[in-house]
Structure 1
Amino acid sequence: MFKSSIILSIIMCFSTTVLANTKVKLGMSNATAGPVASLGAELYLGSQTYFEQLNLQGGINGKQVELLSLNDNYEPKLTVINTRTFIEQEQIFALFGYVGTPTSYAIFPILKKTGIPYLMPFTGADFLRRPIQENIFNLRASYLQEAQTQIDYLINKKRYKNIALVIQADEFGLAAQRALNKELSRYNITPVVNARYQRNTRDMSHVIKKLQTKPIDAVIFIGTYEPFSHLINTAAQEKIDVLFTSLSFIASHEVYSRLKYNSRVMITEVFPDPSECRWTICQRFKNDMTKAGVNKLNRVQLEGYINAHVFSEVAKRCEQELSHACLIKQFEQYSFKDKDLDIKFSDNNHQGLQKIYLSFSPGALLP
């Protein structure tokens, strides 16, 4: 817990919220090393690529955008330290593109105390959505919406009843489990297995043992891509033939590339596959990534790119002065439509997107 003097010093840093210098400084804390490094690195890559092209065209009303990135290894304590560094030393304008529910939860007191904008975090957690916090804006759909889509698919389409939950033992796991249990209860279904594992580990031996004790149709996994991939591959070795599912946080491209067997996997997504996307902004994304020398494109990069686009378009509307008050006001009036891409915020809706997609491993599509 933070001492009152620390909180006071942070608040004083933001007592004047008008951007006075020639740069718009954003702070991004996420994992760029360790077992979930791909999430932070790819999200940053997408955002930074957009901002580099934007700066070549004059930035935001003549101000260059500077995206500062610090690694937190997906560990909440490091996220807190990084956030204090951004606010107290770097005096950034907003926090942008953070990755993770437990990391977001750790800095939630700072967000509430300081009122600093917290923009487009890579999480679908409910506490960042309800009740609405004036300074928090999400772009991606929520975990509840993903849970609704997953449970509908498993129960109504696949007719499964024996469902197991494997949950990361932290705020991410709890947030997702609440959403899943809420949806399962609508069908009077209780998970046949509940297993938990520690964040930032891939030890799934105890989980495998639990899965072997019950007849199971599907396993819903809440966590990150390395332990999920390891669980799927180990289950295949143990002849556990089930459908594995997970949320968009898992980074499906990372999971599918690690599968060693013909396993069945379904993942809910909050952005389309760039190779299939027909939005105009997707073509811009592909062109800009090519200019940056990036040839392997994925949904996480696209999300980072569109996060940067939304922030920039909203900030440009503050032509007189870019302040926190103006940014919040303009966010609540912002909408953007591009074919079936429909982004819309309001004073009672701080989540811009609502749509869920499904992706499947090659094995999941077999008879």
Structure 2
Amino acid sequence: MKNSHTQFLLSFPLLFFITYSFTAKANNQTVIKLGMSTALTGPAKKIGTQLHLGSEVYFEKINKNGGINGAQIKLLVADDGYEPKKTVTNTRHFISNENVVALFGAMGTPTSHAVTPILEKLKTPYLMPFSGAEFLHTAPTINVFNIRASYYDEAKIQIKYLVEEKKHTKIGFLIQADEFGYVVETGLLKSLSKYNLKPVKVARYLRNTHEITQALEVLKSSGATAISLVGTYKPLSVFINTAYEQGYKPDYTSISFASSSDLFANLKYSTNLMVTEVVPNPFQCKSVWCTEFLKDMKNANVTTPNRLHFEGYLNAVFFSLAAQHCPQPLENTCLMTQLNKSFREDQQLNSLFLDKNSINGHLVYRSFFSLK
């Protein structure tokens, strides 16, 4: 049974309550500190910077309207370059030196795995990590709160698409060689096995590199007619572009972590690519939260808002909703209880995340690349 994957489910009237009624009497905690370790440099930096920006836009709006029960939210961000050792350093600094209330919006599976021993010991809340890893979703050993679908959920949709819709039986994997790759590969293998299939070949490459030459040769020679991609936008776009230039044009799927907007922007040729997503396209969504997000991004002079911004924004919405129901200073038990309560009860928000036709199931959306 999955840990509650709390979703941002607020009613529209409640938005105004959060935004304009946080001016309840102030107390001795005038600042609520959150710590965010993410990639601000390196080949995955666009993921981290866009998640951070989305959260910051909403928090700034809350702060301008009185904060949360009189306390201002301070989102501290530190660059880890999507490297676990740096994440550990940042996490220790946030907890020991900054006394953060929670770790917020951390980016990545290998990075989350690296800080797990710290979080198991200290029980610091680990809120809305940008990862669908099973160890964060099923029987977690840390004080974690999720909103996004798991990678197993995404893998299921990808394999169903390739096998049932595209009629592929020769499917290969391109896998980032770390905990992230391992977790997603496990989900892909489980999903393939339901069709009595195995990957024709699994090729790997190192995190934070673009060295895909050998992996491309291996997959091309395997006869794979479709490839499930697991990684970030830079190496995946290099792989797809290079394959096309060599006359190799399989169908592709990719996980949400890759950042579809950045992956699509780096593709040079017409390619059959489907990316699974954990939040809807805000430009096509009818939810009041999509409308409010687009309005706030426009007010913040963000000209090209995307799903990463939206996920970061919703992370901030959810935290703010829960925190305003807790006395100051914030305590772990109240914060986690209110996060789960909001996710469970607010229909406007959970309609963005929960699959009403599946027990404990999450919605997985799809994006398709088209060369304009």
**TM-score (ref. length: structure 1):** 0.89
Asked if structure 1 preserves the Cα contact closer than 8 Å seen for 2:119 and 2:142, the reply is no
Cα distance in 1 between the residues matched to 2:120 and 2:189: 28
Distance 1:263 1:342, change over 3 A: closer
2:159 is the counterpart of 1:146: no
Asked if structure 2 preserves the Cα contact closer than 8 Å seen for 1:218 and 1:242, the reply is yes
Counterpart for residue 261 of structure 1:
269
Cα distance in 1 between the residues matched to 2:142 and 2:181: 25
Cα distance in 1 between the residues matched to 2:280 and 2:352: 13
Structure 2 unmatched ranges of 5 or more: 1-26
| Matched-pair identity in % | 44
Counterpart for residue 99 of structure 2:
91
Asked if structure 2 preserves the Cα contact closer than 8 Å seen for 1:167 and 1:221, the reply is yes
Choose from 104, 110, 113 the match for 1:102.
Answer: 110
Counterpart for residue 130 of structure 1:
138
Counterpart for residue 21 of structure 2:
none
Per-residue CA deviations over 1:290-318 (Å, capped at 9, x if unaligned) read 11111101000000000000011011111
Alpha-carbon shift at residue 132 of structure 1 (Å): 3.6
Number of residue pairs matched by the alignment: 340
2:305 is the counterpart of 1:297: yes
2:351 is the counterpart of 1:341: yes
**1:170-185 to 2 correspondence within 5 Å?**
170-185=178-193
* Higher RCO (C-alpha under 8 Å, 6+ residues apart): 2
Distance 1:98 1:320, change over 3 A: closer
Alpha-carbon shift at residue 207 of structure 1 (Å): 1.1
Asked if structure 2 preserves the Cα contact closer than 8 Å seen for 1:49 and 1:292, the reply is yes
Asked if structure 2 preserves the Cα contact closer than 8 Å seen for 1:26 and 1:94, the reply is yes
Distance 1:343 1:331, change over 3 A: farther
Asked if structure 1 preserves the Cα contact closer than 8 Å seen for 2:279 and 2:352, the reply is no
Structure 1 unmatched ranges of 5 or more: 1-18
Alpha-carbon shift at residue 319 of structure 1 (Å): 3.5
Alpha-carbon shift at residue 332 of structure 1 (Å): 2.8
Instruction: Note the aligned Cα RMSD (angstroms).
Output: 1.8
Per-residue CA deviations over 1:11-64 (Å, capped at 9, x if unaligned) read xxxxxxxx9521110000000111000010000000000000011111111110
Choose from 75, 84, 102 the match for 1:67.
Answer: 75
Choose from 310, 313, 322 the match for 2:321.
Answer: 313
DSSP-derived class of the 1:24 partner: strand
DSSP-derived class of the 1:362 partner: coil
Asked if structure 1 preserves the Cα contact closer than 8 Å seen for 2:202 and 2:219, the reply is no
Asked if structure 1 preserves the Cα contact closer than 8 Å seen for 2:318 and 2:339, the reply is no
Alpha-carbon shift at residue 340 of structure 1 (Å): 7.3
2:21 is the counterpart of 1:43: no
1:341 maps to a residue whose letter is S
1:121 maps to a residue whose letter is P
2:125 maps to a residue whose letter is P
Alpha-carbon shift at residue 134 of structure 1 (Å): 5.9
Per-residue CA deviations over 1:278-298 (Å, capped at 9, x if unaligned) read 110111111111111111010
**1:1-367 to 2 correspondence within 5 Å?**
21-133=29-141, 135-319=143-327, 321-334=329-342, 335-338=345-348, 341-342=351-352, 354-362=362-370
Alpha-carbon shift at residue 274 of structure 1 (Å): 1.8
Moved over 3 A (4+): none
Asked if structure 2 preserves the Cα contact closer than 8 Å seen for 1:164 and 1:219, the reply is yes
My pick for the range that moved more, 283-292 or 82-91, is 283-292
DSSP-derived class of the 2:68 partner: coil
